[in-house]
């Protein structure tokens, strides 16, 4: 198993050795220790978490995400806003935008409509995307968006 150093502890040790060299009038050795102190100070370090702890926290996080997904799927009225696959409707700017008056059966001849009034599954821009049929198939295309809004 790899071992990690405590940077502050190492710097304190180097400073002690440097002071000892200065007391012995060994400036060249003291300069070498100072170079080491600067090197460690200027080296990028990261916090280290033992692998087992990391895997445990990662597994707990995945379980919480699964639970959150289920809660969203079961209770949210606008599930799409929580999905990283969300496709924003461009409204009249969309190349596939359609609108009209009346219905196919002739029951509502004066009703104005646009493609925005229909389910996402009917939009030609979504035909080959995870959104197509997602809601009707137990949200099969749903992927939880990260809290930062990224995937």
Buried b (16+ CB within 10 A) or exposed e, 91-114: eeeeeeeeeeeeeeeeeeeeeeee
**Structural domain boundaries in the chain:** 7-42
For the question of whether the overall pTM of this predicted structure is more than 0.85, the answer is: no
* Residue 53: pLDDT band with limits 50, 70, 90: confident
Tell me: the pLDDT tens digits for 67-88?
A: 888 888 888 777 887 888 887 7
Q: How many percent of the chain have pLDDT more than 70?
A: 87
Tell me: the pLDDT tens digits for 113-141?
A: 888 777 655 677 777 788 877 877 888 88
Q: What's the angle, vertex CA 67, arms to CA 82 and CA 50, rounded to 5?
A: 105
Q: What is the pLDDT of residue 139?
A: 84
Q: What is the pLDDT of residue 2?
A: 58
Which H helix or E strand runs over 113?
A: strand 112-114
């Amino acid at each position: 198993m790899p071992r990690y150093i405590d940077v502050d502890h190492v710097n304190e040790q180097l400073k002690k050795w440097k002071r000892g060299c200065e007391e012995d009038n060994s400036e060249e050795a003291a300069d070498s220790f100072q170079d080491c102190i600067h090197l460690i100070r200027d080296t990028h370090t990261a916090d280290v978490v033992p692998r087992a702890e990391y895997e445990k926290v990662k597994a707990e996080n995945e379980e919480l995400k699964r639970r959150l997904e289920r809660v969203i799927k079961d209770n949210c009225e606008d599930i799409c806003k929580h999905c990283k696959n969300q496709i924003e409707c461009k409204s009249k700017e969309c190349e596939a935008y359609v609108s009209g008056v009346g219905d196919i059966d002739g029951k509502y001849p004066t009703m104005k409509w646009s493609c925005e009034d229909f389910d996402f599954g009917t939009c030609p821009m979504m035909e080959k995307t995870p959104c197509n049929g997602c809601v009707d198939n137990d949200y099969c295309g749903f992927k939880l968006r990260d809290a930062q809004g990224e995937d």
